[in-house]
Amino acid sequence: MNRDNETPEEKRERLRQKELKHPASSIHGSNLSDLVGGLGWKGTGIMILVLVVAFVVYSVFFG
């Protein structure tokens, strides 16, 4: 189909398929949004809790 005659829905779908084949966020590997998206809200909460506890422990012993 000619790109000049495609509907907005067809254009969005074509761009979405192109993005799925070559995702821009994975050029440099994984990033924080990929990690949080994969963990879900419970995993993200546990990760934040572990980071806070690690910071407190570090502050007590080395602060």
Q: What's the pLDDT score for residue 24? A: 61
Region at 31 (left for phi over 0; alpha for psi -120 to 50; beta for the rest):
beta
Name the residue with tokens 């924080």: 32
- Predicted confidence (pLDDT) per residue in 4-54, tens digit: 788 889 888 888 888 777 766 555 556 666 667 777 888 889 989 999 999
Radius of gyration from C-alpha coordinates of the chain = 21
The tokens describing 54, both together, are: 């690690």
Q: Determine contact, residues 47/54, Cβ cutoff 8 Å.
A: no
Q: What's the pLDDT score for residue 26? A: 52
Among positive and negative, which fits the CA dihedral 62, 47, 26, 19? negative
Residue ranges of the domains in the chain?
3-62
